[in-house]
């Protein structure tokens, strides 16, 4: 009773830790959304700053162009020289509207400067209009005398001074907002990485929980095996408890992997938004680099062109790997819930079909797959047996020794109420200390030069046990491996077995 109570407390603590981890992931997701919105606001502000600065410069250029047209007309008396002047007058209304729209609230300092700029431009254009009118009336001397009063020169100086003040103010705003945007982007990256670490920690915690419960089930099975065979009722009751526990593990694995997917999808989405924001910043960065390269710092160039793309690539690689792991856990959980349907299976035909589908891989590896004579038939679940054989044969081909021709032999024999099969290869082999490890979740042995997540053999062992069988490994490095499988010759569902 004390042990059971202690185990229940441990389970509750582990579930509580997982729930706390999920809560942390939700908090990370919310923070990422807030930071993404904040970054978008910074980007809008920076874009507005750049546009306002450009409009101020356009207003200055407008006044300069008008003055250029006036001077050309006064010097040559050729109306063709008034083209820049006329264009400036035509563009004045549009430029005025844009400057006022971007200047901000009426009580702001930039709005006051904008009003002063427009007044100075109006004064300049008024002086230009008077001289052009006098010239058109043939009163050239009066027009030149008006120019020499320095009225237009002072108006132009005022336009330049106010425009320079406004541009300087916007430059300071741009620097401040860019720095704030960079800081926010770094915080967002840190939050995303924290989310990935939390998700990885939750996956690892779920793995430990599943493995611990699996060890408890194994110990319980050993205890049942050693119990008095006359206690059939006690054995049946304990078997029922084990089945329920196994189903609970499968449900738990499904729930954990399913709930892990939601924050993972968020991380993927936020990564895409971060990449989109990076591209937007890169476009603005390039525009600044072309128009005002002196404003750019080397650190900013390095961050935009190298650091951010590298960090986003790392996040995407990590989320893709985690997605594959979650899919593998889901596959393992779904297989445990599938209804087993026994039927008569020709293992020889099955091995021949697998060899045919793997012809390209075996040809590339200079290998052959052989179904030995006398392979017995089996009454069991066809899909499950095919998945077991496919996994073991594919593993054998994957880990062949490329220095010699590969050979995989599938053999078998009937032994009373059981059937034994062997899948033997002449590949790399596995060290004795890793014989049990290769069947554990997420564990692999030897050189990691082949793709995989460490779930194939764990899936095989879980499926073999579900069919009432067992699996073991004999192997030595450099001398190949042999997987030994034992199944009931005729599979009976659990309810039938208990009734018998």
One domain, residues 327 and 180: yes
Q: Are residues 312 and 420 in the same domain?
A: no
Domain containing residue 455: CATH number: 3.30.565.10
**How far apart, in whole angstroms, are the C-alpha atoms of residue 460 and residue 439?**
8
Place of tokens 């038939």: 377
Instruction: Among 337, 367, 392, identify where a domain stops.
Output: 337
Regarding whether 263 and 114 lie in a shared domain, the answer is yes
Instruction: Choose one of 337, 357, 376: the last residue of a domain.
Output: 337
Whether residue 154 sits in one domain with residue 276: yes
Measured CA to CA, the distance from residue 90 to residue 490 in angstroms comes to 94
**Residues 233 and 98 occupy one common structural domain:** yes
pTM above 0.85, yes or no: no
Whether 264 and 401 share a structural domain: no
- Containing structural domain, residue 440: 342-499
Are both 356 and 400 inside the same structural domain?
Answer: yes
Q: What angle do CA 425, 488, 236 make, to 5 degrees?
A: 130
Kind of pairing between the strands at 367-371 and 406-415: parallel
Same domain for 365 and 268: no
Q: How many domains does the chain have?
A: 2
Residue 380 · residue 412 · CB < 8 Å: no
Structure tokens of 388? 């077991």
pLDDT of residue 109: 83
Same domain, 174 and 312: yes
The pLDDT value given to residue 348? 93
Same domain for 423 and 331, yes or no, is no
- Report pLDDT for 378: 93
DSSP sequence for 42-68: HHHHHHHHHHHHHHHHHHHHHHHHHHH
Whether residues 326 and 421 share a domain: the answer is no
Torsion angle (degrees, nearest 10) of CA 33, 39, 43, 46: 150
**What's the rounded Cα separation, in Å, for the pair 494 and 500?**
10
CB 455 within 8 A of CB 379: no
Out of 337, 357, 377, a domain closes at: 337
DSSP H or E run through 423: strand 418-425
Q: Which of 370, 479, 371, 364 is nearest to 427 (CA)?
A: 479
| Residue 465 sits in the same domain as residue 424 | yes
Q: pLDDT by residue for the chain (500 residues), tens digit each? A: 555 555 566 667 666 766 776 787 788 778 778 877 776 776 777 887 888 889 888 888 988 888 898 888 888 888 888 888 889 888 888 888 888 888 877 667 888 888 888 888 988 888 888 888 888 888 888 888 888 888 888 888 888 898 888 888 888 888 887 888 788 778 878 887 887 887 787 777 767 766 777 787 788 777 767 765 655 555 455 545 545 545 555 555 555 555 665 576 667 676 777 777 777 777 777 778 787 777 777 777 777 777 777 777 768 766 765 665 565 566 555 555 567 788 999 999 999 999 999 998 888 889 899 999 999 999 999 999 999 999 999 988 888 888 889 899 999 999 999 999 999 998 888 887 877 777 776 555 555 545 555 566 888 888 899 899 999 988 888 888 999 999 999 988 754 444 33
């Amino acid at each position: 009773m004390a042990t059971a109570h202690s185990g229940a407390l441990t389970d509750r603590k582990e579930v509580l830790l997982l729930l706390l981890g999920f809560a942390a992931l939700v908090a990370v997701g919310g923070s990422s959304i807030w930071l993404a919105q904040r970054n978008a606001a910074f980007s809008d502000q920076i874009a507005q700053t750049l546009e306002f600065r450009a409009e101020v410069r356009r207003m200055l250029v407008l006044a300069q162009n008008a003055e250029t047209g006036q001077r050309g007309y006064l010097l040559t008396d050729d109306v063709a020289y008034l083209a820049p002047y006329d264009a400036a007058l035509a563009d004045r209304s549009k430029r005025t509207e844009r400057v006022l729209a971007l200047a901000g609230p009426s009580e702001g300092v930039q709005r006051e400067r904008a009003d002063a700029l427009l007044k100075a431009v109006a004064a300049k254009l008024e002086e230009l209009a008077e001289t052009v009118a006098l010239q058109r009336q043939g009163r050239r001397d009066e027009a030149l005398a008006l120019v020499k009063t320095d009225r237009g020169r002072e108006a132009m100086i005022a336009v330049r001074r106010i425009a320079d003040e406004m541009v300087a103010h916007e430059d300071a705003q741009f620097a401040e907002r860019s720095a704030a945007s960079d800081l926010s982007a770094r915080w967002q990256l840190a939050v995303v990485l924290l989310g990935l670490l939390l998700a990885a920690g939750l996956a690892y915690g779920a793995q430990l929980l599943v493995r611990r419960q699996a060890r408890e089930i194994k110990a319980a099975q050993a205890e049942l095996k050693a119990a008095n065979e006359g206690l059939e009722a006690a054995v049946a009751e304990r078997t029922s408890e084990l089945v329920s526990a196994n189903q609970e593990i499968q449900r738990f694995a499904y729930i954990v992997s399913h709930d892990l997917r939601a924050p993972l999808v968020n991380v993927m989405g936020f990564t895409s938004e971060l990449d989109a924001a990076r591209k937007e910043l890169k476009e603005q960065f390039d525009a600044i680099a072309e128009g005002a390269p002196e404003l750019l710092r080397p650190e900013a160039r390095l961050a935009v062109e190298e650091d951010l793309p590298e960090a986003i690539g790392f996040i995407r690689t990590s989320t893709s790997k985690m997605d594959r792991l979650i899919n593998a856990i889901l596959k393992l959980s779904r297989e445990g819930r599938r209804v087993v349907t026994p039927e008569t299976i020709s293992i020889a035909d099955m091995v021949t079909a697998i060899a045919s589908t793997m012809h390209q891989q075996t040809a590339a590896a200079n290998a052959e797959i052989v179904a030995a004579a006398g392979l017995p038939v089996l009454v069991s679940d066809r899909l499950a047996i095919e998945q077991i054989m496919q996994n073991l044969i594919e593993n054998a081909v994957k880990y062949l020794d490329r220095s010699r021709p590969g050979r995989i032999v599938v053999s078998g024999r009937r032994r009373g109420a059981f059937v034994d099969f062997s899948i033997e290869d002449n590949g790399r082999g596995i060290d004795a200390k890793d014989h049990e490890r290769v069947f554990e979740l997420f564990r692999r042995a030897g050189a990691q030069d082949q793709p995989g997540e460490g779930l194939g053999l764990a899936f095989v062992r879980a499926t073999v046990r579900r069919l009432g069988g067992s699996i073991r490994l004999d192997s030595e490095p450099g001398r190949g491996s042999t997987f030994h499988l034992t199944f009931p010759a005729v599979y009976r569902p659990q309810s039938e077995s208990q009734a018998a």
